[in-house]
Structure 1
């Protein structure tokens, strides 16, 4: 167990230089860290450079940390050499379970005894990936969203043999460098956000396959509809507001029967009293004690800001054509 504060981590190893791995490297560099990288592809150096250079203007606009340097990255011939001396390891190899198992075992053996090794996997539980590691106690999932240098969310969860301190340290490190972290209590294939976006994706494919909607209509139904609310209030708090002054309790009691309506191909869970109470309590936590009028005003300000920002970005893009 490491007692060193995460603020003392100055060097990160990025294992894998694909879209996710290179995006992580760009973000770490923008936070003033030094990066040691490895990727078996012969053109890895070129791929890394292209992604970092493409990401740097956006990172600059968001604000660079002191000492940020897009060239503070070194590519090593082996994964073990890249890990040597790193204070944190981010693995971003392809989604191949056998590859993940062997690579994570190698990284765990090469990393220092107090160094956490995090996997960017988009779906595999760490329990399944850590089977070959002699010491899996420092192996955790640190699941980002593409592109990692722009999207703040990271889902953190350990496996059955992950030490609690390792999960907590990974979460603390990500928060320290500016990420929004969900530290999950238990493993779940696909984690939280991927399962939610996959539900929308499956329903979209059903509609296209049945000739019920076009891809353009589906995209616009989100970008010009509920997607405008989600940057400030997620699905649960959105439905809390849909209940008016009665909040989530009124929404569930009033609209609960519609859960069984054939609006989607996904089977809805039974709205038991326990599930209803959990949703009501969760909405109250998300609301943080703020009155409904304040939440509505916050949502409205944010939606206006998001619409203006998107319109400005589109206008700027059109001007460059």
Structure 2
């Protein structure tokens, strides 16, 4: 990775696993300099390989002026990674004590105007801020979705020390990365999207465990049914249309009583060896002998084309809570 002329904005990517590498690829494609840090010097190989995977899809989507992989700089020195950063994105493993310690260290090292986002999928921001003594309010949840370099949603969640202006500034930062920020109104474990996905995941495991469906059949039910509608309308607008001319009000009158029926099991089933085998072998059958890399490339081509369709049908003024 050679030295290149530094673009206007610099992003410090802290932790270079799959999520951190996805952030790095997205920021590079947006024309930013990326200063990536990981305590493991071998993480640079993972980082480079992940960017190799992401770059063809990003190129098809369109690179910003000045975008170059040469703007990536890896270091095991935290101070070097943070120097001059406009935005810090933490991607450490999902262990509270580890994240608290690392975020407190970052908070003590960077200027007060620098936003610090955490990619946590479940931890509340007030817990992340607990050990920060400098400017705790600028430590927020900035939760993306895999693959980060393609999927535009980022959930922004402030903690007890966060001011509205700090969340607004965060939204501007992530919009520069081509993302669609969703500011979560109040902190809760799992935020919004993961809570919804976990509910569906639990139900899917019950269906496989009870012999109602295979993994392939469950996925087909989503891909060819609900998933196609959700890509455009989401949950509530889909049900609004189900009510015909009467919309959601009629739908709730007609189908609301069904909510009392025992159709779902929100508590997860026990992951017995038998269930693990059904889920794993079913997923391997669906993969059809294709490697993970082959499936990722296929997924990325599909998502790139799907995003083009969604963007044509979903104007920017419509969305999830005003910012999107």
In the superposition, the TM-score normalised over structure 2's length comes to 0.79
Q: In the alignment, does 2:129 pair up with 1:123? A: no
The CA distance in 2 between the partners of 1:222 and 1:182, in whole Å, is 24
Please identify, of 10-19 and 173-182, the stretch whose mean Cα deviation from structure 2 is larger.
Answer: 173-182
Cα distance in 2 for residues equivalent to 1:105 and 1:84: 16
Maintained 8 Å contact 2:87/2:116: yes
Q: Which residue of 2 aligns with 1:283?
A: none
Please report how far the alpha carbon of residue 256 of structure 1 lies from its aligned counterpart in structure 2 after TM superposition.
0.6
**Structure 2 residue aligned with 1:239:** 239
In structure 2, what is the Cα distance between the partners aligned to 1:52 and 1:266? 37
TM-aligned CA deviation for residue 214 of structure 1: 1.1
Q: Distance in 2 between matches of 1:164 and 1:170?
A: 10
Change in CA separation of 1:229 and 1:77 when aligned onto 2, cut-off 3 Å: same
Taking the TM superposition and a 5 Å limit, the aligned residue runs for 1:268-287 are none
Instruction: Quote the Cα distance in structure 1 between the aligned partners of 2:181 and 2:8.
Output: 18
> Over the residues paired in the alignment, what is the CA RMSD in angstroms?
1.5
Counterpart for residue 46 of structure 2? 47
Partners of 2:30 and 2:176 within 8 A in 1? no
Gaps of 5+ in 1: 1-7, 268-304, 310-321
Matches within 5 A, 1:44-193: 44-135=43-134, 136-193=136-193
CA deviation map 1:125-167 (0-9, x unaligned) = 0111211111312101100000100111000011111232221
Q: Which runs of 4+ in 1 moved over 3 A?
A: none
Structure with higher RCO (Cα < 8 A, 6+ apart): 2
TM-score w.r.t. length of structure 1: 0.79
Paired residues, what number?
263
Q: Distance in 1 between matches of 2:164 and 2:24?
A: 26
SS of match in other structure, 2:212: coil
Question: In structure 2, what is the equivalent of residue 14 of structure 1?
Answer: 13
Cα offset for 1:72?
0.7
Aligned in 2, Cα 1:128/1:116: closer, same or farther, shift over 3 Å?
Answer: same
Residue equivalent to 2:319: none
Q: Any gaps of 5 or more consecutive residues in structure 2?
A: 1-6, 268-304, 310-324
